[in-house]
Amino acid sequence: MAKVLVVGGGGREHAIVHAISKSPKVEKIYAAPGNAGIANLAECLNIKDTETDKIVDFAKENAIDLVVVGPEASLALGIIDKLRAAGINAFGPTKAAAQIEASKNFAKDLMAKYNVPTAEYKVFNKYDEAIAYVKETGAPTVIKYDGLAAGKGVVVAMTIEEADEALKDMLLDDKFGHGKVVIEEYLEGPEFSFMCFVNGTNVYPLEMAQDHKRAYDGDKGPNTGGMGAYSPLPFITNEDYEYAMNKIMIPVAEAMVKEGCPFTGVLYGGLMKTKRGIKVIEFNARFGDPETEVVLPRLTSDIYDAFMAIVKGEAPVLTWNKEFTIGIVLASKGYPGDYKKGYEILGADQPHIYHMGTKRENGKVYTNGGRVLFAVASGATLEEANKKANALVDTIKCDNLFHRTDIGAKAYRK
Ligand code: AMP
Ligand code: GLY
């Protein structure tokens, strides 16, 4: 019987822990640090996801059979390299491979070199040259800070003035640190998330999902970390799938091997279906959040076996149910801007509720983050799943939460 350690403490890790808990081969799950919901399924450790040396020591001392890493910050710190050096099975990419997410510049150069379809771009480190380029190419345009910026390093500028402001923040005021920016051609079309398990040149697709990034119904309001997601995607044809696999995911996995940084773990393609074909918006080196919370509940095969297969370079078995699954984020009022924490929540401990930002004190659950809970429901149609997910949300009582009601609705409301 196996012991597994999951690194991270959000909704994504709650869904990973939940999926692992279904494996008859796993006797014990630990989480570092986990959260109040994960604590119902795993033993939560007093170790932060960035305390990589402590995580390695714990895994060694407790003969952990497999470590699964959720957050990009842990990956960018080289946690997988350290675990592997200690002889521990670790699911995730090395620090070198995680660059595909951590550096926009690396990802764009890789795509250019290997002819992977993506927006046209140029890299700048001087404000004067960057603004001159924007004035020459015009708006809308997209400005991306070249580094991890907690999802805030991308500005879709509809005017030259907005672009100018972003360039000043990033190149003159060093808002995210001293660095470069990538300036990109603006693309239009529905976005979708294609996560694949990858080991070297072998690519095994998970079911696709769509995130909803805007805060309010009708895709209004500011961009967030994601307010809900659904899977599978009716607007993706077989042809789209073949294209995404054969022109994007497989060539990129092969390119990483050729570049000397083979990828192991989840390669996440943030893709857009534009009028001129499917193009890459970004890559992530990890499970998406909240996509994972709607994809993993659909997995009908053993995820522990699948993780171990990838770690050992074997082919995983991945089978899925045919149901539509929708998840709705319950966020603190004010998110993604300023918000207050510490409001009591009733109904947070239910099987289909993943915890994103909560804490437990004296048996009660309180809000403790921007995104707080994630309510998941399935149905034979998207519409049914949406109704059930909204009904589940209504069973949760808290004075300081808001949510979207229209997750997935664009796909069935004409
Ligand atoms: P990223 O962090 O690269 O995923 O960017 C965040 C969001 O900005 C994406 O989900 C898109 O909605 C938007 N975005 C990024 N790049 C582009 C682009 N080239 N054209 C239009 N929108 C973009
Ligand atoms: N849902 C977007 C992400 O995980 O980056």
Please write the tens of the pLDDT for every residue from 137-189.
Answer: 999 999 998 876 655 688 999 999 999 999 999 999 888 888 899 999 999 99
Element (H, E) at 265: strand 264-274
Domain residue spans of the chain: 2-95, 120-185, 191-311, 324-412
Instruction: Write the DSSP string, 37-61.
Output: TGGGTSEEPS--TT-HHHHHHHHHH
Fold annotation for 2-95? Rossmann fold (3.40.50)
pLDDT of residue 151: 59
Tell me if 302 CB under 6 Å of ligand 2. no
pLDDT at position 223 is 86
Give the ligand at the shortest distance from the Cα of 11. 2
Low-confidence ranges of the chain (pLDDT < 50): none
Our measurement of the distance from residue 309's CA atom to the centroid of its chain's CA atoms, rounded to an integer in Å, reads 22
**What is the CA(187)–ligand 1 centre distance, in A?**
8
Query: Do 372 and 402 meet the contact criterion of CB atoms below 8 Å apart?
Result: no
Ligand 1 pocket mutation pick from 116, 281, 284, 289 by most atoms within 8 angstroms of CB: 281
Residue 335 pLDDT: 97
Name residue 327's beta-bridge partners: 229, 376
Shortest-distance Cα residue to atom 3 of ligand 2: 288
The pLDDT assigned to 154 comes to 87
Q: CB of 226 closer than 6 A to ligand 2?
A: yes
The CATH H-level superfamily of 120-185 is ATP-grasp fold, A domain (3.30.1490.20)
Protein residues with CB under 6 Å of any ligand 1 atom: 119, 142, 144, 154, 156, 184-187, 191, 213, 270, 281-282
Residues in CB range of 306: below 8 A, 6 or more apart: 197, 299, 316, 317, 318
Confidence (pTM): 0.94
Give, in words, the CATH class of 191-311. Answer: alpha beta
Using the mean position of ligand 1's atoms as its centre, give its distance from the Cα of residue 156 in Å: 7
154 CA distance to ligand 1 middle (Å):
7
Q: What homologous superfamily is domain 324-412 in, according to CATH?
A: Phosphoribosylglycinamide synthetase, C-terminal domain (3.90.600.10)
What is the per-residue pLDDT across 212-271, written as a single tens digit (0 to 9) for each? 999 999 999 988 999 999 999 999 999 999 999 999 999 999 999 999 999 999 999 999
pLDDT of residue 354: 98
Report the pLDDT value the prediction gives residue 152, as an integer from 0 to 100. Answer: 66
Ligand 1 atom nearest to CA at 281: 16
DSSP state, residue 237 = -
- pLDDT at residue number 174: 83
